[in-house]
Amino acid sequence: MGLDEVAQKPHDRLSAWLAADMEAVNQMIRDRMASEHAPRIPQVTAHLVEAGGKRLRPLLTLAAARLCGYDGPYHIHLAATVEFIHTATLLHDDVVDESAQRRGRPTANLLWDNKSSVLVGDYLFARSFQLMTETGSMRVMNILANASATIAEGEVLQLTAAQDLATTEAIYLQVVRGKTAALFSAATEVGGVIAGSDEAQVQALYTYGDALGIAFQIVDDLLDYGGTTAVIGKNTGDDFRERKLTLPVIKAVAQADADERAFWQRTIAKGDQRDGDLEQALAIMARHGAMEAARADALGWAAKAKVALAVLPDHPIRAMLADLADYVVARIN
């Protein structure tokens, strides 16, 4: 292996290894996005689907299927299914969060309107549903139905947990499964199922995707506070302003003294935020080592993901998946 290959990110190495499959997935996405009757649909979705997203979820499905020796056509359908579900949730999130930017482009919400975001999201869900039925596998349908329920439940739970200082780490974990890990684990699990792998391997793929997704989301939440350096960057503090109870805040709240508790009460529970509050929040979290503790949790989940891979075939893809778990948490060095 040359230096170039070593230096490449594991995600890029997976993309390169699975390039032909990925091209088939992209083609299927383009085909199934089209609507004979409603040309607005590809207009709304194109800038999301074509925006050069990392395509991490479909890559996971392709990787799982190929790692398990699959040689049929349906991993392509399932990878496209997973990307459609992801894109649909992004569209619905845009309505929900009134977020102004996604992947660096104007959101569908601003480019179009709430109506289009909701309905085109529904259209993509329906398309994903059609794609998965084409596999003819009831087990795949079951996995994706359960993942859909976990995703929706987690999103609703996130609404009710926001601004609530009583939010526990257990609730945070359910929210994170809904936001990220449920689709990661479904993506890897269906890859193993379509390949006809044995139960231990299918379970391992589920565990890998679940743990990878949780690590990924904890890191995302840490990066929203500038990682562990507690330096405020230009994209820092969105979660604080939106009064989200993410892991570092939950850990800091759990150890808060009376003054700190009053601070969280005012800024998160009541939403009365002033200049300097974000810096103050970072200082409180640093005082309790909340960022380091959250990072340790992320490392633990990444380790769990790698351990799960042991029962899977010894294969270059397996090594890349292990590296991917390391890479996901390395973002917060």
Exactly one of 8, 47, 53, 118 binds its own copies (CB under 8 A); which one?
Answer: 118
CB 178 within 8 A of CB 217: no
Residue at 222: amino acid letter: L
Residue 47: other Cβ atoms inside 10 A: 17
Report the residue number, 171 or 302, with the smaller CB distance to its own copies.
Answer: 171
Question: Does residue number 166 form part of the binding site for its own copies (CB under 8 A)?
Answer: no
Name the nearest CA neighbour of 204 among 11, 35, 64.
64
x/- track of binding to its own copies for residues 84-103 (CB under 8 A): --------x--xx-------
Which residues are 102's β-sheet partners? 105
Which residues are 106's β-sheet partners? 101
- Longest CA span, the chain: 61
C-alpha–C-alpha distance, residues 266 and 178, integer Å:
28
Number of amino acids touching its own copies (CB under 8 A): 44
Exactly one of 152, 223, 303, 307 binds its own copies (CB under 8 A); which one?
Answer: 152
How many H helices and E strands in the chain? 18, 2
Shortest reach from residue 154's CB to its own copies, in Å: 8
Report the residue number, 148 or 228, with the smaller CB distance to its own copies.
Answer: 148
Exactly one of 24, 67, 68, 151 binds its own copies (CB under 8 A); which one?
Answer: 151
C-alpha–C-alpha distance, residues 68 and 72, integer Å:
12
Shortest reach from residue 38's CB to its own copies, in Å: 4
Question: Which residues here bind its own copies, judged by CB under 8 A?
Answer: 35, 37-41, 92, 95-96, 114-116, 118-120, 122-123, 125-127, 129-130, 132-133, 136, 138, 141-142, 144-146, 148-149, 151-157, 159-160, 171, 174
